[in-house]
Amino acid sequence: MEAHNEQAAWFTFEVVARDGRARAGRFLTPHGVLETPVFAPVGTQATVKAVTPAQLEEIGVTLVLANTYHLYLRPGHQVIAELGGLHRFMAWNGPILTDSGGFQVFSLAAMREIDDDGVTFRSHLDGSLHRLTPEKAIQIQEHLGADIIMALDECPPPYDRAYNEAALRRTHAWAERSLKAHTRKDQALFGIVQGGVFPDLREASARFIASLGFPGHAIGGLSVGETKAEMYAMLDVVTAVLPEDKPRYLMGVGTPEDIVEAVRRGVDMFDCVQPTRLARHGAAMLYFGGRLNLRRAEFTRDPRPIDASCDCYTCRHFSRAYLRHLITAKEMLAGTLISIHNIYTLVRLVRDMRQAILEGRLEAWLQVWYARREAQTASSGKGSSSSSR
């Protein structure tokens, strides 16, 4: 625990304003201050797909996530360490967050066998055999050198009570081992709350994880198949327990609606692959939720931008007709331009919410947001937008 206490000098989290349960904060990292709430695009293989760091900066991105599983397998954490760490490697000088690798082992690896000590898996790239333990996950992340790193956890199916109980014991034991293994003072190690859709497990998990003294807390295992009502209920339980003076990070979320509902419940950090993944499939995200499928023929001669109220690079310069042309012609620029818009949309959303919190008008902001969301949904029946779920 000493190491952690020394870390605290770097990773001060200051709540600068509250509005209801929502907070606007400032989280100090060695690579800059994160103003929260914050949305992080995902740079799985040390690149946010199709977007340069300069473009990320222009979008207003402040935090980027990279995946430990992928970088461990290729090019290898030691190679990245040799080259000066992840920041230099991917030329992103702002804060970086790495996950523990666990989620990808469970979802991507060719084979995985979990035990109380860790998990054995085969690479999805070449079938080679590997072993990940809490200690190893920390060691890899120390080599990568992100500002914020994650404890290894297990993310079970949300509705299986027995599985969740067993997984929670493991996740908690691994959290303690992760803290012990962590040596770098310039990294904040976050513990992860699990517990499926079970309020009592979630509450117990939040209490236990909070008791360990992490400089920040993540909420895992949500947006993995449960209903929105269940997700929000779990957020209510967990945010009521987690300490106010540490940042709260909802992993793998998400859609504008989920971000809105989580911020109002006091969540500070988000990441999601959706903006870039949808972009590569020709779908533009909308500020009030829902999407435009730009592949559709109705956009062939549409001179409008994706969103007339958006001032991202893409919306300031390009028509839906041009974007549809790029998609149809299989041009890489489609992925770049739509990714820029989609990431911007979520960055803009959390920035607008932060401003509303700072000015104590979040409730009014939410009313307007939901009213315009409904208006959009109503018009999309006969128009061009489609709901996201």
Instruction: Give the tokens for residue 296.
Output: 């559709």
Query: Which residues are known to be catalytic?
Result: 99, 271
Task: Check binding of 129 to its own copies (CB under 8 A).
Answer: no
381 binds its own copies (CB under 8 A): no
- Residue whose structure tokens are 């992490």: 214
Binding to its own copies, residues 263-302 (CB under 8 A): 300-301
| Residue 94 near residue 51, CB atoms below 8 Å | no
The nearer residue to its own copies, 1 or 54, going by C-beta atoms, is: 54
Nearer to its own copies, 87 or 172 (CB): 87
Shortest spacing between CB 345 and its own copies, in angstroms? 18
Q: What are the angstrom distances between the C-alpha of 234 and each of 169, 241, 329?
A: 18, 11, 44
Query: Least CB distance from residue 18 to its own copies, whole Å?
Result: 39
| Contacting its own copies within 45-64 (CB under 8 A) | 45-47, 49-55
Is 384 an interacting residue with respect to its own copies (CB under 8 A)? Answer: no
User: Segment contacting its own copies (CB under 8 A): 24-32, 44-52, 101-109, 375-383?
Assistant: 44-52
Residue ranges in 82-111 that form contacts with its own copies under rule CB under 8 A: 82-84, 89-91
Going residue by residue from 316 to 355, which x/- string records binding to its own copies, judged by CB under 8 A?
Answer: -xxx-xx-xxx-xx-xxx-xxx------------------
Please answer whether residues 202 and 161 qualify as being in contact, where contact means their C-beta atoms are separated by less than 8 angstroms: no
Nearer to its own copies, 110 or 332 (CB): 332
The 3-state DSSP class for residue 40 equals strand
Closer Cβ to its own copies, 316 or 389, answer by number: 316
**How many residues touch its own copies (CB under 8 A)?**
40
CA torsion 326-332-333-339 (nearest 10°) is 110
Q: In the set 116, 200, 303, 382, which binds its own copies (CB under 8 A)?
A: 303
Q: Which two tokens stand for residue 38?
A: 């914050």
Q: Distance between CA atoms of 224 and 234, rounded to whole angstroms? A: 13
Q: Where are the beta strands (DSSP E) in the chain?
A: 13-19, 22-29, 32-36, 38-41, 64-66, 96-98, 111-114, 119-122, 129-132, 148-150, 188-193, 216-219, 248-250, 269-272, 283-285, 291-293
Residues making up the chain, counted from first to last? 389
CB of 71 to its own copies, least distance (A): 9
The gap from C-alpha 331 to its chain's centroid, in whole angstroms, comes to 28
Cβ(50)–Cβ(276) below 8 Å = yes
| Shortest Cβ 181–its own copies spacing (Å) | 26
The whole-angstrom separation of Cα 113 and Cα 100 is 17
**Residue 208 or 313 with smaller CB distance to its own copies:** 313
Which of 5, 20, 57, 74 forms a contact with its own copies (CB under 8 A)? 74
Residues that bind its own copies (CB under 8 A): 45-47, 49-55, 70, 74-75, 79, 82-84, 89-91, 300-301, 303, 313, 317-319, 321-322, 324-326, 328-329, 331-333, 335-337
